[in-house]
A and B are shown apart, each in its own frame.
Chain A
């Protein structure tokens, strides 16, 4: 909000990290491998134009490996593991000069065999991407990775509850289906941007990031610095959706700035975005057994989660994808086996939903297949098995504040499902929040109001507004009297990261503690901290997956032109359990945005990189939803409960959209197993139905 009270987003006054400038700064450009897998034999910068600085392997020989969950990445790749991997970099006075200088660098490669599919990558004899097993990052809240040495598996997550063999022996009906989801691009409108500057051995990086403290820890480890000697400042982002998490371009900017002894700024172009971080493709096999009355007795979920060239947070995604695949159901016997697998594709990482969409697609599609086999309504099958308050989830934890039945019923009612289910589909989901984690916040009194310092990053989700509103309520002042500065690791207290829809929930609680501290100490500063303890044993899947559950559902009503395969979503409805709403317009925007992103995922978004080269790395060939893509009826709701705590809702209604639409098709006998549901796939499924008749 500007001095005149007009929001900077409508006046153009809002500044993003692409606009950060420092005196004497240079601009970076990267030399990227054209090969999906190749050893770098020689980098020759002899033709570098004057006034430019080149970063070649010798300049980073003293730096080790980085990575947020497994340390497996070098600042410059000695082996390029995907087409687009950065093998050298340059800095020059302008972006245009930097690009020209990057073209002047010659690189000699020795090509290696490559693999582009996670199932193929775990087969014996597949090319190995990281022959040396990567070590766990050992950061605060990093998970203990379970690599399978000598394979491309960088993490294996298993969950075992009950006895699945005995469970299936009890089942009257068993279905087994395999499902696939492709890679997708986050497409933040603002590209990745970072500016690095060294001063007296201290590194400062301004970057659009959701993870300032993780980035600080990783850069400190890489450059051999105390974390206090690295400062990360995080201006608002022009969208992120998971794209701007962990170290992306920051290490390259820092290494270039060290070499150049000048500040260096990186801004990626659109094509580079498509080789920087994408969504994990997944292949998921679901086996589901039930008694004739619809009681679920056993479930097996096997997941191959393609993390691309580097692990990044793939181990965490495989874990969350794995347990989300159990679904919000009481199932006495469960076995989940999720592999995070290296392939020679661009790295895949956090993407709104963090793996939930992939396994919800598989799990909830399998429910409708089972319902058909049982001759039972998909709504009734779900109702019969939904988790209720006090039930134990497959992880062993007891569920509390459970609202799945309410979410599902609201979704069903929105499309009058019980009156006529034809052309309609439902999906209900459970999604966890980052556990364990820690959130700290500080409230400082000023002559005109308060300054609230915290590392919750603004990416459009409205966290600053939520914090301002919550602070004003707790402090008894106007929201305009509460200033929330950009996260800065020098002055903002620690926060795990701005992910998994945790900020309003975790920071809101920490804020209440801080305000209470301020009242009690009577001074000018109060601090608050909230920890959520837990985590899962990666070998058994037992423990606390999430101290706070995201619960939601979706319903779709579709029609299909069976001559062309054209699928029309006539009505899409999303339901999120909100508990207590802090910022109503903001909550509505998060729900609407999640549904629209889910619609793109369901209907047309997919990265085309079957041979290792991203063939649609632009916004003409890779389409994201426009206004005209919205269904004729597009509705949603926030379920609230008197006295409830604040529930995160930044992602909840994205994961159920594809399965709701897929189940609507299923009700017409059109059975899809793979996303996106393009006219070609719909037409093939119509043909297959005719073949079955």
Chain B
């Protein structure tokens, strides 16, 4: 079978098997920011945004994404305020989990745009599905706060 992917604003058609997972298909396309760690949807290292919502690439079948918009950090170009905030806050060590955190944080900030400031509990809840074994959490929360503060109303 083949599936047409809309990734980072580009459209490509890739050959794949019905059982192929989005994680493997995206990696084969060179999008190596989508990373395999747990393979059971608990670590968040293969997080992508699917129509703006964070999903685990290891639990999403490639066939399910036909016609839907996929975003990975490669599509943010390094200029996104959330990416900048992660750099400014030194919110990573090995960097393996960082793309997943950036995308999850981006969705959180979009959802809250214009709303009241995020509490630490809300940030912890939203990022609870992303693991960082290096333990950079304190600075990750700081990065999210910084990104939220860019317009003072929680919008990145």
Contact = CB atoms under 8 A, between A and B. Distances in A.
Contacts of A462: 93
Interface stretch (A97-105, A330-338, A395-403, A585-593): A585-593
Contacts of A2: 78
Contacts of B93: 239, 460-462, 589, 593
The residue among A11, A188, A588 with the most chain B CB atoms within 10 A of its own CB is A11
B99 to A, nearest CB: 5
Contacts of A586: 90
A12 B72 contact: yes
A462 B136 CA distance: 12
B35 A189 contact: yes
Interface string B90-107: 101111111100100000
The residue among B31, B95, B98, B135 with the most chain A CB atoms within 10 A of its own CB is B135
Interface string A237-250: 11101000000000
A313 B116 CA distance: 53
A554 B90 CA distance: 24
Interface in B35-89: 35-40, 42-43, 45, 72-74, 76-79, 83, 86-87
Nearest to B94: A460
Interface in A209-238: 236-238
B43 A619 contact: yes
A459 interface: yes
B39 A585 contact: no
A6 B87 contact: yes
Interface in A254-274: 269-270
B16 to A, nearest CB: 12
B97 A189 contact: yes
A668 to B, nearest CB: 27
Given A19-B32, A593-B93, A11 B74 contact: yes
Interface stretch (A47-55, A278-286, A469-477, A594-602): A594-602
A270 B41 CA distance: 12
- Interface SS, A side: loop
Interface in B98-138: 98-99, 102, 123-125, 127-128, 130-138
B23 interface: no
A634 B143 CA distance: 17
Contacts of B138: 588, 592, 630, 634
A141 interface: no
Contacts of B135: 589, 592-597, 625
A532 interface: no
A10 B43 contact: no
Contacts of B127: 627
B58 to A, nearest CB: 10
A630 B132 CA distance: 12
A585 B139 contact: yes
A19 B72 CA distance: 17
B141 interface: yes
Interface residues of A, number: 50
A9 interface: yes
Contacts of A594: 135
A604 interface: no
B76 A11 contact: yes
A630 B137 contact: yes
B137 A189 contact: no
B134 A239 contact: yes
B133 A626 contact: no
Interface string A181-202: 0000001111100000000000
A564 interface: no
A14 B83 contact: no
A542 B137 CA distance: 41
A190 to B, nearest CB: 5
Contact of B133 (A11, A16, A624): A624
A270 to B, nearest CB: 6
The residue among B86, B87, B92, B137 with the most chain A CB atoms within 10 A of its own CB is B137
Contacts of B38: 270, 618-620
A592 B135 CA distance: 6
The residue among B74, B76, B78 with the most chain A CB atoms within 10 A of its own CB is B78
A586 B124 CA distance: 22
Given A10-B78, A19-B32, A189-B45, A585 B40 contact: no
A630 B32 CA distance: 30
B133 A188 contact: yes
A23 interface: no
A627 B137 contact: yes
22 contacts: A7-B92, A7-B95, A9-B94, A12-B31, A12-B72, A189-B96, A190-B37, A190-B96, A238-B94, A238-B95, A239-B93, A460-B92, A460-B93, A586-B90, A593-B135, A593-B136, A619-B37, A620-B40, A620-B42, A626-B128, A627-B140, A628-B124
The 4 nearest A-B residue pairs measured at CB: A12-B33, A9-B95, A460-B94, A238-B96
Given A10-B78, A459-B94, A624-B133, 7 more contacts: A8-B95, A9-B94, A11-B77, A11-B83, A189-B133, A627-B140, A630-B138
